[in-house]
A and B are shown apart, each in its own frame.
Chain A
Amino acid sequence: MTVLSAGRLAAGRRRARRPADTLFRFATAACACIVLILLAGMLIRTTWAAWPAFSHSGISIVTANNWNPNVNQFGGLSFIYGTLVTSVIALVLAVPVSVLIALYLTEAAPPGLGTWLGYLVDLLAAVPSVVYGLWGVFVLVPFVTPIWQWLSSHLGFIPLFSQFASGRDFATAGVILALMITPIISAISREIFRTVPADERESALALGATRWEMIRLAVLPRSRPGVVAAVMLGFGRAVGETIAVAYLIGGIPNKITPHLFQQGSTIAANIALQFNEAASLPLFKAALIALGVVLFVITLVINVAARLIIQRRGRLT
């Protein structure tokens, strides 16, 4: 009796597990599909909503530099320029620092300190962007303004540094973006460095490599695709960052200049700043949504590029 019931119970469990498995598979697949549907839906819906602007201005939305909604001119080239310039400044500043932070945390720091510093870096990644923006307005701008002025007056012969304006510019926006993406890049890089097998580190050390040589021979080559992915994620965040940039870039449209200490604007910042008033003007609203589509495409291109780089590098190593 007991044996029989136990057997029946076991069989029941086995039978019961199968629908649960199917359910689990369906649930996970459905969730994965939701992402795809959302992505496709967003692209289709935004393009649809932006269509009046695309049919009004055509390709000039991305090629012309004459954003003036009051006379229905929607050339947004300066926003694309501002988006790319600030993001590149952010990467130039953030990537070396982030990788060094990650290396220190995994390779050099005493274990206890490394863990705690790691927590702090993760915490920085969780600070909301509006906080970075306000901090930027009241702390960063007064801090960088004299530095920019000094650079402008001493290195002004380099076009990048000439023509200082007001401390709210491409460079300041780039610095705040660098601060925002540093924790992301370093947190991911740290996890990547951790995945390098201890065997390989130890064999490098056993061959007489110094710690730096061990990092160069064992850690970096293995981690390169992962670090590239981390950098691309940071780039993606920088491209789409809105509020902090809107506060600090000195948002004026139609400015394409090589001088980093001049004001400009970015796609995301401009959408956020102008959307309120566009609500009652259909063509203006469509043009802002069109900028959103452009931003979407830019991030898509960055992500695809990252994938390709990772795949190629991954094959090489």
Chain B
Amino acid sequence: MRIVPGGPISRRVAAGVAAVAILLGGAACSSSSGSTTGSGSSTINGAGSTFAAPMYQQWAGQYKASHGTQINYQAIGSGGGISEFTQGVVNFGATDAPMTSTEQAAAQAGVGSIALHIPMIIGAIAIIYNEPAVRNLKLDGPALAGIYLGTIKKWDDPAIKKLNPGVTLPSDAIQPVERSDSSGTSYAFTSYLSAISPTWASQVGASKTPSFPTGTGATGSSGVAAAVQQTKGSLGYVEYGYATQGHIPFASMKNASGQFVAPSTASTNAASAAATYPTKVTELTFSLVNSSASGAYPLVTPTYILIAQKQKNTATGSELKAWLHWDLASAQQGEAPKLGYAPLPSKLVSLDLAALKTVH
């Protein structure tokens, strides 16, 4: 009699045990199979610049397909990239603005060796505007600084009139639009204005989060593009790729040799080809704004990857080096114009390769 009610219970228990056994076994099986597939290739983690993210993510995807190495790139902003790199959370950092000496010292302490800047690609910043009455707007650095300082308030200001002879400018208010989020684009833009206008340099300075004295802030390059397209009389700055993809009119800028140059891969190349680069591999940082070369666009900026000279894990280190080598090859550099960037000049590529050679 007792066995009868006990029967179903013991059967249920047995079934439960079996189920657990199956679950555990399954888990064991899946974990073991996971480790076997994982052992063939390793994973590299990087974080930083949003400006360069489309390029790195494309390269990472193609590299995974051709070489099998997984590269995870998180676009968390240059400051976040520097900080995660310093803490050793990621294998490489990415930043648009070179590290300051304080940041460099902290990084050296954090990763246990000198942190190298490896320039990867070059970008141009377009000055987009929305004033249907004006075609082929021409501007120079002082006029641009005046607009963003709030001293030039109208489209028919004498300073703009002088640059656009024969163009009837409306007396609409100019509404400058800027990035309100932290941005490498803002850094390049404000380093140009600082180079050209002493007032800008002393009042605002070059920064990823400049305290703009006037204008409307928008988030992201897409936000700036949207704000400019929505607001008649507005003017803003975005990565060159955004201007061409959105078919937004952009201005030609007067360069240091007096020519009016529109942003393009060719005018970006003109700036980077003429520049002189530091030869010391540990100090491979430079500015490309306000180039005096003929045909050079003045708002041009490099973007860097940060890598520790002495890799803690040599296997991951050599995988990372291999990926960077691959990125710097002419086939991959040739992809840059499709995303609105420009490739590195060949002399800079050889400097990069020399710097990578010191990584071990």
Interface residues of A (CB under 8 A from B): 67-71, 137-138, 141-142, 145, 165-168, 246-247, 249-254, 263, 265, 269, 272-281
Q: Is the CB of A263 within 8 A of B211?
A: no
Q: Are A280 and B216 in contact (CB under 8 A)?
A: no
The distance in angstroms between the C-alpha atoms of A145 and B216, with both chains bound, is 14
Of B178, B181, B204, B207, which is in contact with the most chain A CB atoms at under 10 Å from its CB? B181
Per-position binary interface string of chain B over residues 205-218, scored 1 when its CB falls under 8 Å from any chain A CB and 0 otherwise: 10111111111111
Q: In the complex, how many residues of chain B place their beta carbon closer than 8 angstroms to a beta carbon of chain A? A: 39
> Which chain B residues (65-87) contact chain A, with CB distance < 8 Å?
76-80, 82-84, 86
Nearest CB of B to A256, in Å: 13
Q: Given the complex, which residues of B lie within 8 Å of A137, measured CB to CB? A: 223, 226-227
Known contacts A247-B223, A263-B215; is A277 also within 8 Å of B209 by CB? Answer: yes
Whether B207 and A141, one on each chain, are in contact in the complex, defined by CB atoms closer than 8 angstroms, is no
B227→A277 contact, CB < 8 A: no
Lowest 5 A-B CB distances belong to which pairs? A276-B77, A251-B180, A277-B79, A277-B182, A251-B217
B283 interfacial by beta-carbon distance below 8 Å: no
By a CB distance below 8 angstroms, the chain B residues around A251 are 180-181, 217-219
Question: With A277-B182, A279-B82 given, can you name 13 additional A-B contacts, CB distance below 8 Å?
Answer: A68-B211, A70-B207, A168-B216, A247-B223, A249-B217, A250-B217, A252-B211, A253-B211, A276-B78, A276-B181, A278-B209, A279-B83, A279-B84
- Which of B84, B178, B209, B213 has the most chain A CB atoms closer than 10 A to its own CB? B209
Taking a contact as CB atoms under 8 Å apart, the answer to whether B180 and A250 are in contact is yes
Q: A263 touching B216 by the CB < 8 A rule?
A: yes
Q: Assess the B219–A273 pair: CB atoms within 8 A.
A: yes
- How many Cβ-Cβ contacts under 8 Å join chain A to chain B? 112
Task: Tell yes or no: B37 within 8 A of A by CB.
Answer: no
**Is B252 located at the chain interface by the 8 A CB criterion?**
no
CB < 8 Å neighbour of B230 from A69, A71, A142, A280: A142
Contacts of B219 in A (CB 8 A): 246-247, 251, 273
Most buried by B among A247, A253, A269, A277: A277
Residues of B within 8 Å of A69, CB to CB, are 207, 209, 211
Q: Give the complex CA separation of A180 and B213 in angstroms.
A: 30
For B208, the chain A residues whose CB sits under 8 A away are 277
Closest B residue to A70 using CB positions = B207
Q: Does B58 contact A (CB under 8 A)?
A: no
Task: Point out the residues of chain B lying under 8 angstroms from A145, CB to CB.
Answer: 230-231
Closest to A69 in B: B209
Which residues of B come within 8 Å of A, CB atoms?
A: 76-80, 82-84, 86, 99, 103, 106, 175, 177-178, 180-182, 204-205, 207-219, 223, 226-227, 230-231, 234
Residues of B contacting A67 in the complex (Cβ-Cβ under 8 angstroms):
211
Query: A254: nearest residue on chain B (CB-CB)?
Result: B211
Residues of A within 8 A of B86 (CB): 280
Name the CB-closest residue of B to A138. Answer: B226
Q: How far is the CB of B154 from chain A (nearest CB, A)?
A: 14
Residues of B within 8 A of A275 (CB): 182
- When distances are taken between beta carbons in the complex, the residues of chain B under 8 Å from A247 are 218-219, 223
Tell me, in angstroms, the Cα distance from A269 to B231 when the chains sit together: 22
Structural contact, A252 and B212, CB atoms closer than 8 A: yes
A148 to B231, CA, bound (A): 13
> In the complex where A137-B223, A247-B219, A263-B216 touch, is A166 in contact with B231 (Cβ < 8 A)?
yes
Is A280's CB under 8 angstroms from B82's CB? Answer: yes
Partner of B217, one of A141, A252, A278: A252
In the complex, what residues of B have CB within 8 A of residue A166's CB?
Answer: 175, 177, 216, 227, 231, 234
Bound CA–CA A243/B219 (angstroms) = 10
Closest Cβ–Cβ distance, residue B121 to chain A (whole Å): 20
Residues of A near B78 (CB, < 8 A) are 276-277
Output the residue of A141, A252, A253, A272 with the most chain B CB within 10 A: A252
Residues of B within 8 A of A142 (CB): 230
B77 touches A277 (CB 8 A): yes
Q: A252–B103 Cα gap in the complex (Å)?
A: 26
Q: List 24 A-B residue pairs with CB atoms under 8 Å apart, sorted by A's residue number.
A: A69-B207, A70-B211, A71-B205, A137-B226, A138-B226, A165-B216, A166-B175, A166-B177, A166-B227, A168-B218, A250-B216, A251-B217, A254-B211, A273-B182, A276-B76, A276-B78, A277-B209, A278-B79, A279-B77, A279-B84, A280-B83, A280-B99, A280-B103, A280-B106
Structural contact, B182 and A252, CB atoms closer than 8 A: no
Residue of B nearest to A68 (CB): B211
